[in-house]
Amino acid sequence: MQDYVTGDIFTFNPPQQTLAAWKPFWDCVTILFQFQNSDVDDGGEELKEWRLFWVAGLALLRTVGHVLDKVDAKKTSPHGKVIFERWKQWKNDKEQAEIFWNFIEKERNSLLKTYSFGARFVNDPEGAYIEFEDGSDAFQLYRQAVYWWRKQLIEIEQSIHSN
């Protein structure tokens, strides 16, 4: 999977933020901050708060896409055209948008439709952490997804405003 992490997401402010999708995006960033600055265990015992942030975070990651499609695409003709083309790209090249289809969409659906978690608490000799079903660090995967959305929103903004 491609690495989307560039710069400091907590201090970098994209120059254009006219899309409504930035609102749920910034809530995703807040949850990322929680993941990066909170403990998942206390003396080896799981602190279950991470699960609430996980459900909220995945729902919000998917909300960014819904707001793009249902709100931003209807703003103006250029908005609609650019956003429609971006969705078409993601659908036609699922490898390029792998983090969306194989993580954001899939995990959100598992959580909200069956309350099945792809992430789980692990406490091994290296310490306690949250592991995703593919063996990766779940919080780092969430981080990649947040950075992926930032890249997409910046590119969409640039395309809309260059027309």
Residue 73, pLDDT score: 98
57, 110 in Cβ contact below 8 A?
Answer: no
Residue 1, pLDDT score: 75
Comparing C-alpha atoms, which of 69, 74, 34 is closest to residue 55? 34
DSSP state of 128: E
Residue type, 3: D
Sequence-distant contacts of 157-162: CB under 8 A, at least 24 apart: 157/14, 157/16, 157/17, 157/18, 157/19, 158/16, 159/82, 159/86, 160/18, 160/78, 160/79, 160/82, 161/16, 161/18
Q: Give the integer Cα–Cα distance in Å for 53 and 49.
A: 7
122, 129 in Cβ contact below 8 A?
Answer: yes
Residue 40: Cβ within 10 Å count: 21
Domain residue spans of the chain: 61-162
Rounded to two decimals, the pTM is 0.95
pLDDT in tens, the chain (163 residues): 789 998 999 999 898 999 999 999 999 999 999 999 999 999 889 999 999 999 999 999 999 999 999 999 999 999 999 999 999 999 999 999 999 999 999 999 999 999 999 999 999 998 999 999 999 999 999 999 999 999 999 999 999 998 6
3-class SS of residue 46:
strand
Half-sphere exposure of 53 (CA within 13 A, CB side): 23
